[in-house]
A and B are shown apart, each in its own frame.
Chain A
Amino acid sequence: MAIEVKNIVKKFGSFAALDGVDLKVADGELLALLGPSGSGKTTLLRIIAGLDWPDAGEVKFDGQDALARGAGERNVGFVFQHYALFRHMSVFENVAFGLRVQPRKIRKTEAQIRARVKELLDLVQLDWLAERYPSQLSGGQRQRIALARALAIEPRILLLDEPFGALDAKVRKELRQWLRTLHEEIHVTSIFVTHDQEEALEVANRVVVMDKGKIEQIGTPGDVYDNPASAFVHGFIGESIVLPVDVQGGQVKLGHKLLNVEAGNAVGPSNLFVRRHDMQIGAVGEGSLEGTVRRVRTFGPIQRADIALSGNDTLVEIDAPRDRPLTAGDAVSLQPRRYRIFAAS
Chain B
Amino acid sequence: MSAAKHRRTLPGFGLTMGLTLTWLSIIVLIPLAGLVLKTFELSFDQFWTIITSRRTLNALKTSFGLAFLAASVNLIAGMIIVWALTRYRFPGRRIFDAIVDIPFALPTAVAGVALTSLFAQNGWLGAPLAELGIKVAFTPIGIFVAMVFIGIPFVVRTVQPVLQDIDREIEEVSACLGANRWQTIWRVLLPSLLPAMLTGFALAFARAVGEYGSVIFIAGNLPNISEIAPLLIVIRLSEFRYADATAIAVVMLLTSFLVIFAINRIQRWSQSRMVRP
CB distance from A128 to the nearest CB of B (A): 16
Say yes or no for A101: interface residue by CB 8 A criterion: yes
Instruction: Report Cα–Cα, A89/B270, bound state, in Å.
Output: 11
Q: Which residues of B contact A153 (CB under 8 A)?
A: 177-178
Q: B276 near A102 (CB under 8 angstroms)?
A: no
Q: Which of A5-13, A70-78, A227-235, A337-345 contacts B (4 or more CB under 8 A)?
A: A70-78
Q: Report B137-169 residues with CB < 8 Å from chain A CB.
A: 167, 169
Q: Which residue of the partner chain A has the closest CB to B275?
A: A135
Q: B167 near A87 (CB under 8 angstroms)?
A: no
Say yes or no for B187: interface residue by CB 8 A criterion: yes
Instruction: Report Cα–Cα, A76/B169, bound state, in Å.
Output: 15
Q: Which residues of B contact A256 (CB under 8 A)?
A: none
Q: A133 near B169 (CB under 8 angstroms)?
A: no
Q: Which residue of the partner chain B has the closest CB to A135?
A: B275
Residue interface mask B168-191, A partner, CB < 8 A = 1? 011011111111100100011001
Q: B173 near A80 (CB under 8 angstroms)?
A: yes
Q: A51 near B176 (CB under 8 angstroms)?
A: yes
Contacts A101-B183, A133-B276 given: A86-B176 contact, CB under 8 Å? no
CB distance from B139 to the nearest CB of A (A): 42
Q: Report A28-49 residues with CB < 8 Å from chain B CB.
A: 49
CB distance from A164 to the nearest CB of B (A): 16
Contacts A84-B167, A101-B187 given: A76-B176 contact, CB under 8 Å? yes
Say yes or no for A275: interface residue by CB 8 A criterion: no
CB distance from B274 to the nearest CB of A (A): 4
Total interface residues in chain A, CB < 8 Å: 31
Q: Which residues of A contact B173 (CB under 8 A)?
A: 78, 80, 84, 149
Q: Which residues of A contact B191 (CB under 8 A)?
A: 88-89
Say yes or no for B8: interface residue by CB 8 A criterion: no
Contacts A51-B176, A77-B176, A149-B177 given: A84-B169 contact, CB under 8 Å? yes
Say yes or no for A97: interface residue by CB 8 A criterion: yes
Q: A133 near B275 (CB under 8 angstroms)?
A: yes
Q: B274 near A97 (CB under 8 angstroms)?
A: no
CB distance from B165 to the nearest CB of A (A): 10
What is the predominant secondary structure among interface residues of chain A facing chain B?
Answer: loop
Q: Which residue of the partner chain A has the closest CB to B188?
A: A86
Q: Report A139-155 residues with CB < 8 Å from chain B CB.
A: 149-150, 152-153
Interface centre among B170, B175, B180, B191 (most CB of A within 10 A): B175
CB distance from B152 to the nearest CB of A (A): 26
Q: Which residue of the partner chain B has the closest CB to A79?
A: B173
Instruction: Report Cα–Cα, A215/B191, bound state, in Å.
Output: 42
CB distance from B99 to the nearest CB of A (A): 29
Say yes or no for B273: interface residue by CB 8 A criterion: yes
Say yes or no for B192: interface residue by CB 8 A criterion: yes
Q: A72 near B177 (CB under 8 angstroms)?
A: yes
Q: Which residues of A contact B273 (CB under 8 A)?
A: 88
Q: Which residues of B contact A87 (CB under 8 A)?
A: 192, 274-275
Q: B172 near A78 (CB under 8 angstroms)?
A: yes
Q: Which residue of the partner chain A has the closest CB to B175?
A: A71
Say yes or no for A82: interface residue by CB 8 A criterion: yes
Instruction: Report Cα–Cα, A89/B189, bound state, in Å.
Output: 12
Q: Which residues of A contact B175 (CB under 8 A)?
A: 50-51, 70-72
Q: A101 near B178 (CB under 8 angstroms)?
A: yes
Instruction: Report Cα–Cα, A71/B167, bound state, in Å.
Output: 17
Closest 8 CB pairs of A and B: A98-B177, A84-B169, A101-B179, A88-B274, A78-B176, A88-B191, A71-B175, A84-B173
Given A51-B175, A152-B177, A153-B178, 10 extra CB contacts under 8 A:
A50-B175, A51-B172, A72-B178, A76-B176, A80-B172, A84-B167, A87-B275, A88-B273, A89-B191, A101-B180
Question: Can you show 18 pairs from A to B with CB atoms below 8 A apart?
Answer: A50-B175, A51-B175, A71-B176, A72-B178, A78-B172, A80-B169, A84-B173, A86-B188, A87-B275, A97-B177, A98-B178, A100-B187, A101-B177, A101-B179, A102-B178, A133-B274, A149-B173, A152-B177
